[in-house]
Amino acid sequence: MTGAPSQAKPRHVIVLAHPNPQSFNAAVAEAYRCSVESHGQEAIVRDLYALGFDPVLREPERPGPDLMEASPDVRRELDIVAGTDVLALVYPIWFGMPPAILKGYIDRVLGYAVTPQAVQARHGNGLLTGSRLISITSSGAREPWLAEQGQEASLHMLDRYLAHAFAMQSSEHLHAGGVVEGFAKRFVDEHLYEVAQRARRLCSAVAADHRPYRPAEAG
C-alpha cells in the first residue's frame, strides 16, 4: 500500500530497494507489511525502483548557508516518512554495499537539510527523532564468509550510524545469506516467518510507546 500517512495509529514505512518485483526482497517487504497490518498498525511501502526514485543528490539540495528547497519527489517522501514509528529498510547487499538507489534515498530524503554538526550532535532534522530502525538485508554469500570479510560488522555499523545521525531510539538488523537462484522454498518460508516475528515484536514495542499514561487512582 502507498499513499499519505495517517497519524491515527502507529506507522511503519518500508523502503524497498530491489529492481525485481518478484524478488526475495520484495517478498520480505510484503511479509513485513502483512504482519504489521495484522496487528492493527499502518504499513506504507515505498518501492524505490517502482517509483522511479532519482538517487542523485544535486548541489542545490546540499545543506549549506543558502535556503534549501526540497524538490517535489523529496517533499513527497519527507511527508510520508516524517514521524514514522518504524523505518524498515529492505535491500540486498551488492559488492559489500546497499544499492545506489537506497544510498540516494538516504542522501536526498533522510538526510535532507542535515548538516555535519547536526549528525555529530545527534540532532538529525527531526524527521525520524525517536523512531525505530530495522534493516532487513540479503546476500548471495553466506554469513560466515561475510563475517570473514568484515561485512557483517559494516552492516551493523551503518545501522548504528543512521540511528545516531537521525536521533532514532534503536536499530536492529536481520540478514539472510545464501540467497541465490534455486534456493529451497523451506529457506524462504523460514526467513519470511522470522521477518513477520520481528515485525510483530516491533509492533508490540511501538504500541507500548503509544500507550497513554494513566496515573493510578488513589485508593
- Label residue 215 by pLDDT band (50, 70, 90): very low
Task: Judge whether 215 lies within some domain.
Answer: no
Say if residue 67's pLDDT is above 90.
no
- CA-CA-CA-CA torsion for 109, 110, 115, 118, nearest 10 degrees? 160
How many H helices and E strands in the chain? 8, 5
106 or 125, greater pLDDT: 106
75 or 5, greater pLDDT: 75
Using the CB atoms, write b or e for 23-52: b if 16+ within 10 Å.
Answer: bbbbbbbbbbbebbeebebbbbbbbbbeee
Q: Count of domains in the chain?
A: 1
Q: Out of 6-10, 81-85, 103-107, 209-213, pick the least confident.
A: 209-213
Domain that holds residue 96: 11-62+72-210
The pLDDT > 90 percentage for the chain reads: 64
What CATH code is carried by the domain that includes residue 174?
Answer: 3.40.50.360
SS3 10: coil
Task: Judge whether 176 lies within some domain.
Answer: yes
Task: Judge whether 171 lies within some domain.
Answer: yes
pLDDT of residue 182: 77
Q: The cell 544510498 sits on which residue? A: 103
One DSSP character per residue, 100-169 reads HHHHHHIIIIITTT--HHHHHTT-TTSSSTT-EEEEEEE-SS-HHHHHHTTHHHHHHHHHHHHHHHTT-S
Task: Judge whether 37 lies within some domain.
Answer: yes
Task: Judge whether 216 lies within some domain.
Answer: no
Say if residue 132's pLDDT is above 70.
yes
Task: Judge whether 1 lies within some domain.
Answer: no
Say if residue 112's pLDDT is above 60.
yes
Task: Judge whether 147 lies within some domain.
Answer: yes
List residues bridging with 8 in a β-sheet. Answer: none
Task: Judge whether 30 lies within some domain.
Answer: yes
Give the chain's mean pLDDT: 88
- Label residue 5 by pLDDT band (50, 70, 90): very low
Instruction: Provide the residue type at 76 as one letter.
Output: R
pTM for the whole structure: 0.88
DSSP state, residue 44: E
